[in-house]
Amino acid sequence: MFDSGRSSWYSSDMSANRSCTPSEALLVERIARLEQRKAAIAAEQSEAILAFARAHAKSQTAGGTVDPEALERSIAAQVGLACRVSPTEGRRRVRTARDLHAGHTRIRALFAAGQLSEYKTSVIAAATAHLSPGERAQVDRELAEQRVETLGVRRIHDLTRTLAAQVAPEKFTARCRAARSGRRVSVRPSADGMADLTAHLPVEEAVACYAALAAAVNEIAVQPEPVTRGRGQIMADTLVERLTGQATARDVAVEIQVLVPVEALVDPRSPLPAQIPGHGPVPVDLLTNSTGRTIWRRLVTRDGIIIGGDSRSRRFTGQLAALIRARDGHRCREPYCDAPIRHIDHIHRWSELGRTEFDNGRGLCAFHNHVRETAGWRAEVTSGTVRTTTPTGAHYHSELRAENSSGIGEKSSPGAA
C-alpha cells in the first residue's frame, strides 16, 4: 500500500523544486541507466577478483607446494575484506568469477553489458557449479536463447536448474543427494528482540513439519475456548512447545547473557537499552517483566566495555571465555564477518608467549581462526584495536569493545601504523 504521508511529502518537495527538477520520465530513465552501470561495475569487479585470485595463487605457489584449501581460504578472506563482506560471500564471489570464465561466455557478456544483475548472475553460476565447462556452455547457450535477462530471479533459478538437469542428469541426481547431508538448523537475530529459527530440510520433511503445525491451528479452532491468537502465532507457539516439551511456549527454561549499561542500573530513566550478545538491543524493562522461567545473566558495561557481571559461574576459564564472547557479541571479531564465534583466539599467539587473558582474547569463527594460520596473515593489538594484516600488506582494524560500539572494519593503507 502506498504511504499517503510520504506521498504528500514527495508532492510538496517536488512542487517547490519543479523548475529545477527533471521530468518523471527522465528520472526513471536515469534510474535505469544507473542500474545498468551498477551491474557493469559489478562485472568489472568480478574480473578483478578473478585476476587477483590467479595472481595470488601464482605468487603463493612459486615458493613450493601450498595447501589448496588454505590458499582458497586466504583468497576468499582477502576478497571479503576488500569488498567489506563476510569471507563466505568473498568465497562465493571468487567461485562465481571463476565459473563465469569456464563456460558462461554469453552470461558473462550480458553481465558486462549491465543487462544481467550481479545477483541474477550469481544464481546462474551457483545452479551450474557442479557442471563441467562444456556442460556449462550448453546451459549458457540455452539461457541466452531464452533471453534470460528479461526473467525474474525465481524463473532464472528454476530454468537454469532444469537445463542443468537435462544436460547432466547423473550429476544433477548426485547433487540433490549430496544436498541432503547439509540439513541443519540455525538461528539468526532479527529486530525488536526477535530471532529467526530456520531449518534446512529435505523438501518432503519440511512440508510434513509445516503441515503438522498447520494442523495444530485447526485443532485449536474447534475448541470451545475463544481463539485469541492468529494463525502464525499458534504455529510459532506450537513449534516451541513441541521442540522444548514445555506446556506453553513462554515457559521455556533458558539462561541468556545480557549486556546492561551501568547507567541504566543507576538511573531507571536512562534511554540506553540492554544488549543480548549476537541478537541486538532490548528494553531494560524486558529483563524484569518476563513471565517465563528465563534466567538473565547480567554483564555490566560502561562505554561499551564489560566492567562486571553477576556472581554465578565464577570458574576462571569458563567465565573468561564467556566474557570475551559477550564482549564480541557472539559474532566473529574480524571486520565484515557475522559468523558465530567458534574459537577464542590469542591475539598475541600462545606460541609467542601470548597470555590467556581478557585483553589478549578475541572471538573468531572457524574460518578466520584457520585463515590466520596461513602464511602472511598477522594480528596485533594497537591502541585498543586489533589490527589484522593480510598477505598483501593491507590493514583492517576492529576495536576491543562491545558489539554495539563503532569503528569496526576500518582499513588503512599497506604499511600504515
Asked if 340 and 210 sit in the same domain, the reply is no
Helices 68-83 and 87-100, packing angle to 10 deg:
110
| Cα 182 to Cα 393: distance, rounded to the nearest angstrom | 36
More confident of the two residues 383 and 256:
383
Residue 304 pLDDT exceeds 70: no
Q: What is the mean pLDDT of residues 404-409?
A: 43
| Cα 34 to Cα 30: distance, rounded to the nearest angstrom | 6
| Cα 143 to Cα 163: distance, rounded to the nearest angstrom | 8
Residue 381: its pLDDT value, please? 85
Residue 9 lies in a domain: no
Q: What does the block give as the cell for 385?
A: 584495536
Q: Is residue 136 very low, low, confident or very high in pLDDT (cuts 50, 70, 90)?
A: very high
pLDDT one-digit tens code per residue, 305-331: 554 554 333 332 577 788 888 888 888
More confident of the two residues 402 and 54:
54
Asked if 43 and 108 count as a contact pair (C-beta separation under 8 A), the reply is yes
Asked if 26 and 173 sit in the same domain, the reply is yes
Q: What is the mean pLDDT of residues 386-393?
A: 91
Residue 357: its pLDDT value, please? 79
pLDDT one-digit tens code per residue, 355-372: 777 878 888 998 998 888
Residue 358: its pLDDT value, please? 80
Asked if 342 and 230 sit in the same domain, the reply is no
Residue 8 lies in a domain: no
Asked if 162 and 154 count as a contact pair (C-beta separation under 8 A), the reply is no
| Cα 310 to Cα 315: distance, rounded to the nearest angstrom | 13
**Domain end call among 131, 147, 181:** 181
Asked if 305 and 333 sit in the same domain, the reply is no
Q: Is the dihedral of CA 89, 95, 101, 106 positive or negative?
A: negative
Asked if 391 and 376 count as a contact pair (C-beta separation under 8 A), the reply is yes
Nearest by Cα to 128 from 99, 107, 155? 99
- DSSP, res 23: P
Asked if 67 and 190 sit in the same domain, the reply is no
Q: What is the mean pLDDT of residues 11-37?
A: 78
Residue 314: its pLDDT value, please? 30
Residue 280 lies in a domain: yes
Residue 131 lies in a domain: yes
**Domain end call among 181, 203, 219:** 181
Nearest by Cα to 128 from 149, 110, 145, 108? 108
Residue 46: its pLDDT value, please? 97
More confident of the two residues 273 and 336:
336
Q: Could you tell me the maximum CA-CA distance found in the chain, to the nearest angstrom? A: 77
Residue 222: its pLDDT value, please? 77
Asked if 203 and 303 sit in the same domain, the reply is no
Q: What is the mean pLDDT of residues 83-95?
A: 95
The β-bridge relationship of strands 395-399 and 361-364 is: unpaired
Q: Is residue 191 very low, low, confident or very high in pLDDT (cuts 50, 70, 90)?
A: confident
Q: Is residue 55 very low, low, confident or very high in pLDDT (cuts 50, 70, 90)?
A: very high
Asked if 39 and 115 count as a contact pair (C-beta separation under 8 A), the reply is yes
| Cα 124 to Cα 266: distance, rounded to the nearest angstrom | 56
Residue 156 pLDDT exceeds 80: yes
Asked if 337 and 295 sit in the same domain, the reply is no
- DSSP, res 341: P
Residue 166: its pLDDT value, please? 93
Mean pLDDT taken over the chain: 80
Fill in the amino acid letter for 78.
Q
Residue 6 lies in a domain: no
| Cα 35 to Cα 113: distance, rounded to the nearest angstrom | 11
Instruction: Give the chain's radius of gyration (CA, Å).
Output: 26
Asked if 115 and 232 sit in the same domain, the reply is no
Residue 42: its pLDDT value, please? 97
| Cα 120 to Cα 157: distance, rounded to the nearest angstrom | 8
Q: Which of 142-146, 293-297, 404-408 has the lowest mean pLDDT?
A: 404-408
Q: Which of 43-52, 270-279, 283-292 has the lowest mean pLDDT?
A: 283-292
Asked if 293 and 345 sit in the same domain, the reply is no
DSSP conformation letters of 116-162: S-HHHHHHHHHHTTTS-HHHHHHHHHHHHHTTGGGS-HHHHHHHHHH
Residue 338 lies in a domain: yes
Residue 265 lies in a domain: yes
Asked if 32 and 164 sit in the same domain, the reply is yes
Asked if 206 and 305 sit in the same domain, the reply is no
**Domain end call among 147, 181, 215:** 181
Q: Which helix (H) or strand (E) holds 388?
A: strand 385-389
Asked if 239 and 217 count as a contact pair (C-beta separation under 8 A), the reply is no
Q: Is residue 85 very low, low, confident or very high in pLDDT (cuts 50, 70, 90)?
A: very high
Asked if 34 and 176 sit in the same domain, the reply is yes
Q: Is residue 13 very low, low, confident or very high in pLDDT (cuts 50, 70, 90)?
A: low
Number of domains into which the chain is organized:
4
The β-bridge relationship of strands 253-261 and 378-382 is: unpaired
Q: What share of the chain is helix, strand, coil (3-state, %, to 5)?
A: 50, 15, 30
Nearest by Cα to 234 from 215, 251, 206? 215
Residue 176 pLDDT exceeds 50: yes
Boundaries of domain holding 129? 22-181
The β-bridge relationship of strands 293-302 and 253-261 is: parallel
| Cα 327 to Cα 271: distance, rounded to the nearest angstrom | 21
Residue 116 pLDDT exceeds 70: yes
Q: Is residue 349 very low, low, confident or very high in pLDDT (cuts 50, 70, 90)?
A: confident
Residue 11 lies in a domain: no
